[in-house]
A = this chain, B = another copy of it.
Amino acid sequence: MNNSFGNILKITIFGASHSEELGVVLDGVPAGVGLCVEDFASDLERRRPQSKGETPRHEADEPIIEGVDAEGVTTGESVTIKFRNTNCKSGDYSHLRLHPRPSHADLTQRAKYGEEYNLAGGGMASGRMTVALVAAGVVAKKLLGGYRFSTRLISVGATTDESMFEAVVAEARAKGDSVGGVVECRVSGVERGLGEPFFHSVESVISHLVFSIPGVKGIEFGDGFEGAKRCGSERNDLIIDDEGKTHTNNEGGINGGIANGNDIVVRVAVKPTPSIATAQSTYNFASNTIEPLTIGGRHDACIARRAMVVVEAMVAFALADLTLQKDGNA
C-alpha cells in the first residue's frame, strides 16, 4: 500500500481499524503553528455518528499530538496526530474475503492482497481511517488563515429538500437499507494563483485527495456536469473588478487549473454504503455458488453525512499544499 501524498505538505496515514492506534504523520508543517487537543474537537465531532441509526462503534477519538513544543506550538518538525483504538472487538472478518460484500472493497482486496491474510476489522481499508484524514484537515485549515470553509449536504437520496433529509435517512434505516448523498464544500478567501495549468491543477489535486475518501464516486467544480449542458454565452463568468471578482461563479473559482480568488465550489457524490442489513444474493468463493449474504452489525444509513467533514479536510489539505508550493514557486 501507498498511504502517502503531498509535495511540500505531506500526509502519511498509519495504523488500521483494529490496531492499537492509528493516525497521521504530517511533514512540512511550518514552525509556529499552535496546536492543541481542543482544535480538533469540533471536526472530530462532525465525523461521529450523529444519531442512533448509525454505526455502533463509539470511540473517544482523543487526539494525541506530537511534534509541538512545551507550549503546544509546532517547531518545524513533523507533526503526528494519533488516536487509540479502544472499542475494537477483534472480530473475525475472514468470511467476508470468501463471501465478499457487493460493491465493497472485500472483493478487490482479496484480488490484490490475497485471501490468506486474516485482517482484523477489515484492516487499513476501513472508514475508521478517515479520523486521520479529519485530523490532517484540522492542521491544514490552521495553515490557511483567512480561508473560510462551508460544507453541507445538498441532497440525500433523491431529495434536495433539506427538511426531508432526516426522514429519508430514517426510512432507509427502517428498511435495512442505505442512501447516498451529495456534499458541497465552498471555500472563500482563497489566494489567487494557487495551482498549475496541467498536472497539478487545483481540480487535479483536490480530486486526487477527495477520491481517497471511501464511498466517493464523483466530483465536480462550479457548475460541473450541469455546465456541460450549457452555452458559453450563458455560462462565462464576466469579470467585474480589478480583483478578478466575477459576476457569476460557474467556474467554481478556478480557471485553467489556477485559483482566481472567487469561492472554490466543489460537489462530491457519495454512494449509499454497500453494507446493508437486507440479505443480498452474491457469489461465495468458498461454496462456488451465489448465496444470500447477511451482514451483521449496524451501519450508517447515510455515510454522506459523516463524509462532509472528511471532504472538507481533503479540500483543505490540497489547498494548503498548493499554498506552500506557491510560496516556493511563484
Contacts and interface: CB of A to CB of B under 8 A. Distances in A.
Contacts of A276: 232-233, 236
Contacts of A2: 10, 27-28, 196, 198-200, 325, 329
Contacts of A242: 283, 285, 288
Interface in A92-137: 100, 102-109, 111-114, 117-120, 123-125, 129
A151 interface: no
A244 B180 CA distance: 24
A252 B30 contact: no
A2 B114 CA distance: 30
Contact of A114 (B32, B67, B104, B227): B32
Given A260-B111, A327-B327, A212 B236 contact: no
Contacts of A105: 197, 255-258
A149 interface: no
Contacts of A219: 207, 218-220
A124 B192 contact: no
Given A204-B209, A205-B208, A222 B217 contact: yes
Contacts of A196: 1-3
Contact of A217 (B32, B73, B252, B304): B252
A182 B225 contact: yes
Number of copies: 4
Given A76-B1, A112-B192, A71 B118 contact: yes
A304 B182 contact: no
A271 interface: yes
Nearest to A114: B31
B269 A225 contact: yes
B203 A211 contact: yes
A185 interface: no
Contacts of A231: 157, 172, 175, 177-179, 272
Interface in A184-241: 192-193, 195-201, 203-205, 207-209, 211-212, 214, 216-225, 227-233, 235-241
B3 A104 contact: no
B25 A3 contact: yes
Contacts of A104: 255-256
B108 A258 contact: yes
Given A66-B16, A107-B255, A233 B4 contact: no
Interface of A: 1-5, 7-8, 10-16, 19-20, 25, 27-28, 30-32, 64, 66-67, 69-71, 73, 75-78, 80, 100, 102-109, 111-114, 117-120, 123-125, 129, 155, 157-158, 172, 175, 177-182, 192-193, 195-201, 203-205, 207-209, 211-212, 214, 216-225, 227-233, 235-242, 244, 246, 250-252, 254-261, 269-276, 278, 280-283, 285, 288, 290, 304, 324-330
20 contacts: A1-B28, A1-B78, A8-B8, A67-B124, A77-B119, A77-B124, A109-B258, A172-B232, A199-B208, A204-B208, A207-B207, A207-B208, A207-B219, A217-B224, A224-B269, A227-B271, A227-B272, A236-B274, A240-B282, A242-B283
